[in-house]
Amino acid sequence: METYLKLVRLLADGHYHSGAALAEQLGLSRAAVWKAARKAGERLGLTIESRRGTGYRLSEPLELLDPARFLGALSHPAHSHIARLEIFDDIDSTNAHLLAAGHAGAPSGTLCLAERQSAGRGRRGRTWVSPYGANLYLSLLWRFPQGPGHLGGLSLAVGAALAQALEAAGAAGIGLKWPNDLLWQRRKLGGLLIEVAAEAQGPSLVVIGLGLNTRLGGAQAQGIDQPWVDLDEILGPQGYSRNRIATLATKALVTTLERYGREGLAPFLPLWERYDRYRGERVEIRQGERVITGTQAGITIEGALRLEVAGEVQIFTAGEVSLRPVGSPSP
């Protein structure tokens, strides 16, 4: 681990630490500690305050991912499905990492989390804002015996299970937008990115990526092009633990994937309908330059969107459209 990352871990509590104590803990000179603090600010976008005679501190404390807390809180059935856990301080993309690992033979149940992503990705190639220690960046590799035709509703099943888990954690008012957005009061709280590498008849290598806003400051969110929200606003800074949210999300993912492999989307449809925030509303479907306006009429058993247009129901699949309420600006 690089020195500046070690320094950040020592400062994560948000308290002042003397330069002398930090130098001793890191085995550095005090001048080198100053350089490491500067590098952490440049590389990670963190604000490290220094005060003569007092020392250094982070402007805001960070709850960094702790594998002992995180895995220790998983119930046995869920824990037994985690074949490997990887936690990175800095990575390009947790999804890209697991796709490569999957092609190299990594087992089903390989779980990857990161404190920061330098190239986080959302659906349709969009950038996912991924500052250090601020949100949850989690990907899980899963292998299905079936082909990709069986997986059309997977993002809906996973989204419904995650919405239920967050609601149980106290986030009342959670909703879903087809096919992959987690919402709170119509603002984006998180999103799913599911990537598949498969033979037509199976098996399928699937990576399920979750990005969830826990603490997203104004400066960090400047590049976001839609209304957003984080758990700090919903639950308050003391109302949740980032490690506990990671545990709840992992449990929801593992439980859902195991059941989906056996039963498909059908058992998750009532849960999806419970959280669907746009059922019965006028929405726009965008296909490139083409815009189709209609009334959102739910989803099919395969997970496709049903849109009522001029009295007729048209069917749209997740891979080809972007759903937005009528009047929303283009992304």
Catalytic center residues:
123, 188, 324
Q: How many CB atoms lie within 10 A of CB 182?
A: 24
What does each C-alpha distance from 256 to 86, 154, 164, 264, 330 come to in angstroms?
Answer: 21, 9, 12, 10, 33
Length of the chain: 331
Cα 303-309-313 angle, rounded to 5 deg: 40
Q: Rounded to an integer, what is the distance from CA 171 to the centroid of its chain?
A: 16
Contacts of 63 (CB under 8 A, 6+ apart): 12, 133, 241, 242, 243
The residue written with tokens 């509303």 in the block is: 281
Strands 110-114 and 187-198: unpaired
Is there a cis peptide before residue 331, judged by omega within 30 degrees of 0? no
Contacts of 222-231 with CB under 8 Å at 24 or more apart are 223/127, 223/129, 224/129, 224/188, 225/329, 225/331, 226/188, 226/328, 226/331, 227/186, 227/187, 227/188, 228/187, 228/188, 228/189, 229/184, 229/185, 229/187, 229/188, 229/189, 230/135, 230/189, 231/171, 231/189
What is the number of alpha carbons within 13 Å of residue 304 lying toward its C-beta?
12
The answer to whether the CB of 178 falls within 8 A of the CB of 323 is yes
Q: For residue 37, what are its two tokens?
A: 């603090």
